[in-house]
Structure formats: C-alpha cells, structure tokens
Amino acid sequence: MNNKYYIQTYGCQMNLYEEGIVCAIMNRANYTRVDNEYEADIIFLITCAVRAHAEQRVLGRLNVLKHLKHSKPDLIIGILGCLAQNYQNLFNSNDGVDLVVGPDQYRKLPELIADFQRTKTKQICCELTLENYEGILPKTPSKVTGFVSIMRGCNNYCAYCIVPYVRGRERSKSKQQILTEIENLIENGVKDITLVGQNVLAWHDGSLNFLDLLKIIDKIDGFERLRFITSHPKDLTQEHLIVFSSLKKFCPQLHLPLQSGSNRILQLMNRKYTKEEYLAKIEFARKLMPEISLTTDVMVGFPTETEQDFYETYEVMQKIQFDYAYLFKYSERPYTKALALYPKVDKVVSQNRLERLIELQNKITKQKSQQYHNKVVEVLIESHNGKQSLGRTKNNKVVIINEIVDVGKLYQCRIKAVSGWTPIGEIIRTDEQIATKDNIVNNCSSPNKKEEM
Ligand code: 5AD
Ligand code: SF4
C-alpha cells in the first residue's frame, strides 16, 4: 500500500504546530509517517511566505525533490501552508507539484490525495474558511516542550505583512479545545507549554479574554511552565503584565515585536504604537519582573526608511538591551500596502543596516549570557545526546550540562562557564547550598534562532 508520508516544515511555531494537525489527519486516514524522504510515497512541504527568501528556499527544495519522481513516478508532492496559499494557481504543469493546499484545508488532504490518484491532475485547494481544527488532537512528538495554537489568522494588516492575506481573519479557538489539547500534551509528558497565535493577547471567546484563559491554564496540574508567543505591543496593557507576574507557571519571558524605533516608520507600518509607548511598556514590565527576558523582531529597509529612522531603531535597541532579537531586511510581499510606498531602500543600504544591528545585538546577547557565570538557575532538561544534557531556564536560556540527567526533570544548576552565548551548568547535588534569591538569575533568553526565513 502506498501509504507512507514524509513532512518537512519551514517557518514559524504555528507551522510546527500545524505539522501535528496534518499528521493527525493523515494517521486517521491510515497513512504512516516516515522520517526519510526516500521511503515516502507522499512528500509534504509545510511552507512559509512571510519573506521572499523563505519562499525561495522551499522552491529550491522542491526542485531537488521533484527529481525523486524519476525513480518513483507515483510519488506525490504536496505544497502546504502559506506559500501554497500565496501561489495557488501559479504552480505550472511540470513543476512536480501534485497538491497545493492552503492552511485552512488540511482536513481535505486524504480526499485530495485520492482525487489526485484517480485523475492524475494537480489538486489545488486554498479557500480560506476560518478553519480552527477543532476536534483534532495534533500528533506531537513526545518531547518535554509542546505547542498549543489558541488562535489563527490576523486582522492587523501591518503594511509589510502577508499573513492576513494567506491565513485570513483572526479567530480564537474554543477554551474547551485548548484545554483538551493541553491535557493531551500533559499525558504525553510535556512540561513546558507554549500557546501560539499571531497575536495571543487578542484571544477571546465571547465571555472570556486572554487573561481569563491564562488563569485557568495556570491552575492545571501536571506541567511546570507556561509561555506564549506572539504579543502585539499595541494590545499589551499594565493589567496584562500584572496578571502575568501573578501566575505560578508563567515564564518571565515576552516576545514583543518592535519592528522599528522610528515613529514615522511605525505609523507607515500601521503598528498603532509609538516608540515612547513601547518603551513605557518595557519599563513597566521590567519594574514588575526584573528577571523578565525580552525578545523582539526588528526590520530594516522598510520603504522610505532614512538613516535617521534607522538610527532611532539602533538607539532604541541600545536602550532596551533585548535578550535576543530576530532581525530582518524588509522583503516586498504581494497584496501588502507597503508595495505602493516609495522610495524603496537600496538593497546594499539595507544589508549594511542589518549588519550594524546584528553586530549590536550580538554584543548585547553575549553580555547578557556572560552574566550567568557563577549563578544558579533552575533548568528543565529537554534532551541528551549520550554525553551532554540540554535544558532551559524558566526564561528560555538554553543551558548545557556535561552529564546525562533525567529528561523532563527540574534541576538546580550552577553555571561554571559561558561558551559564546551558551551557559555550561553543573547540577547542584543535595549537599550543596540551594540557590538563594539574589544569586539566581533568569534574565536571558535563548539564542535559539528562528529558522532564517
Ligand atoms: N519583510 C521582512 N520581515 C517581515 N516580517 C513580516 N513581514 C516581513 C516582510 N515583508 C517579520 C516581522 C515579523 C516577523 C515574524 O517577520 O518582523 O514580526
Ligand atoms: Fe503580520 Fe502584523 Fe499580523 Fe503580525 S500583527 S501577523 S506582523 S499583520
């Protein structure tokens, strides 16, 4: 039976989460996942369209994969997700693609495969339907960390962003579905749960809001750590921060995309906050939770950005000292308002600005990591490779331990050295002094790079 499928996922946490949705749908239809493309009868690429470079990578990979069809003519190749939604009818007859399936149409995958096998014609299914995948329990790998998507889509229409066009309108998943998924993760041994959504702060179900939801989740037994990503700065209030800080499982970590430090650019981007408002929120968060780790997304080269605008971004980043920043060059995307904005910024100028920001942020991230030296941190062990164990602090800093310890357990560690950005820890055994409040730091996030998109 030709029932083996292989999946490769590109892009953000939402796509990683949705890989589990695709697996659940395929497994229910009696397909079996394999982890090697050469064994597969069907290959899915779950794709990203947020920047042109992300699309190029997928198209490059597709070029390689389609050669597998020479030795296996019945191989089916499916492009899923945001790039599928963006390109839809642009795939042509000999590009090797058999299925083009947008992010709202994964339930139809088994049917589309059958239709393709019957008709041997390309199946394109990309309608945006406000799908929430309620009733499906994603098939997740048994790991210590797990994701739950609590909402899909976006209504914000930032001027550079393709997401509202390829993922459709914002919609919240029901509380019941979220809780069922969390229980399922806990039963599978997950200890560290991240809620994901394009803007989690906007979650609501008609009677409850995001804070109500967090309070309910925080009380669930059986897991240790609760995170969420992404929060739009315009929606973050003092009340949010006060409630976050009161939750037992909340990890003091916030990903708050700044995008630019220039008010003129922020307005053109339709971000709906100013640099001053952003700074005030950060200041309040740090006052309330001095240990909080802050990460951000910043873009250079947005149309009309001048050296002065860029310098304001540079200055804000210098001032805030993010624990980590995802830095991008503006990339022109179809449908978006920024397409019509002129003048565009020269590519060489953008590259130079990007390099200056990377240099600044690398220095800051390194300094923040060095602060761990000799400190004591609580580490949740996520994996080991037979020699070393890898864990994470509550605020997302990866720590390496040079011995094998139990995966899924919490350990107090003393940081003996910092190698580049990575603290090397040693487990504190019971005879050693337990951490006191003032020698515990938790204020640095992991440099776990988002896939370069
Ligand atoms: N060009 C460059 N970066 C982009 N992002 C979103 N759209 C674009 C674009 N057109 C970045 C933003 C966002 C992150 C996920 O990707 O910084 O926060
Ligand atoms: Fe894109 Fe803005 Fe929505 Fe984020 S909030 S997904 S950047 S439109």
Say how many Å lie between the CA of residue 327 and the centre of ligand 1. Answer: 9
User: 156: Cβ–Cβ under 8 A, 6 or more apart, which residues?
Assistant: 164, 198, 199, 232, 270, 272
- Residue of minimum CA distance from atom 18 in ligand 1: 297
Ligand nearest to the CA of 48: 1
Say how many Å lie between the CA of residue 51 and the centre of ligand 1. Answer: 7
Say how many Å lie between the CA of residue 275 and the centre of ligand 1. Answer: 18
> Residue 232: CB within 6 Å of ligand 1?
no
Say how many Å lie between the CA of residue 269 and the centre of ligand 2. Answer: 10
> What is residue 369's predicted lDDT score, i.e. its pLDDT?
93
Could you tell which of 155, 163, 196, 265 is best to mutate to test the pocket of ligand 2, judged by most ligand atoms within 8 Å of the CB?
Answer: 163
Where the chain has pLDDT below 50, the residues are 432-453
> Residue 369: CB within 6 Å of ligand 1?
no
> Residue 257: CB within 6 Å of ligand 1?
yes
> Residue 335: CB within 6 Å of ligand 2?
no
> Residue 161: CB within 6 Å of ligand 2?
yes
Written as six digits, the tokens of 129 are 């339907």
Among 149, 252, 146, smallest CA distance to 200 is for 149
Could you tell which of 299, 327, 452 is best to mutate to test the pocket of ligand 1, judged by most ligand atoms within 8 Å of the CB?
Answer: 299
> What is residue 93's predicted lDDT score, i.e. its pLDDT?
66
Say how many Å lie between the CA of residue 375 and the centre of ligand 1. Answer: 35
> Residue 157: CB within 6 Å of ligand 2?
yes
Q: For 167-176, how does the pLDDT look when each residue is reduced to its tens digit (9 = 90+)?
A: 999 999 999 9
Q: Dump the DSSP string for 275-339.
A: HHHHHHHHHHHHHH-TT-EEEEEEEE--TT--HHHHHHHHHHHHHH--SEEEEEE----TT-GGG
> What is residue 336's predicted lDDT score, i.e. its pLDDT?
97
> What is residue 343's predicted lDDT score, i.e. its pLDDT?
98
Give me the residue label for tokens 């240990």. Answer: 291
> What is residue 449's predicted lDDT score, i.e. its pLDDT?
38
HSE, side-chain direction, 13 A CA sphere, residue 188: 20
Ligand nearest to the CA of 270: 2
Ligand nearest to the CA of 451: 1
Give me the residue label for tokens 């909402």. Answer: 151
Say how many Å lie between the CA of residue 371 and the centre of ligand 2. Answer: 33
Ligand nearest to the CA of 157: 2
> What is residue 41's predicted lDDT score, i.e. its pLDDT?
97
> What is residue 260's predicted lDDT score, i.e. its pLDDT?
98
> What is residue 430's predicted lDDT score, i.e. its pLDDT?
63
The model carries a pTM of 0.93
Residues 176-205 as b/e (b if ≥16 CB within 10 A, e otherwise) read ebbeebbebbbeeebbbbbbbbbbbbbbee
Neighbours of 321 (CB within 10 A): 15
> What is residue 87's predicted lDDT score, i.e. its pLDDT?
84
> What is residue 420's predicted lDDT score, i.e. its pLDDT?
86
Backbone dihedral angles phi then psi of residue 235, each to the nearest 5 degrees? -95, -10
Q: For 84-140, how does the pLDDT look when each residue is reduced to its tens digit (9 = 90+)?
A: 988 877 777 678 899 999 999 999 999 999 999 999 999 999 999 999 999 999 998
Say how many Å lie between the CA of residue 91 and the centre of ligand 1. Answer: 24
Q: Which atom of ligand 1 is nearest to the CA of 298?
A: 17
> Residue 165: CB within 6 Å of ligand 1?
no
The shares of helix, strand and coil residues in the chain, as percent rounded to the nearest 5, are 35, 20, 40
Say how many Å lie between the CA of residue 328 and the centre of ligand 1. Answer: 7
Give the integer Cα–Cα distance in Å for 416 and 425: 6
> What is residue 141's predicted lDDT score, i.e. its pLDDT?
80
> What is residue 275's predicted lDDT score, i.e. its pLDDT?
98
Per DSSP, the three-state class of 342 is: coil
Ligand nearest to the CA of 339: 1
Say how many Å lie between the CA of residue 308 and the centre of ligand 1. Answer: 21
> What is residue 103's predicted lDDT score, i.e. its pLDDT?
97
Say how many Å lie between the CA of residue 332 and the centre of ligand 1. Answer: 10
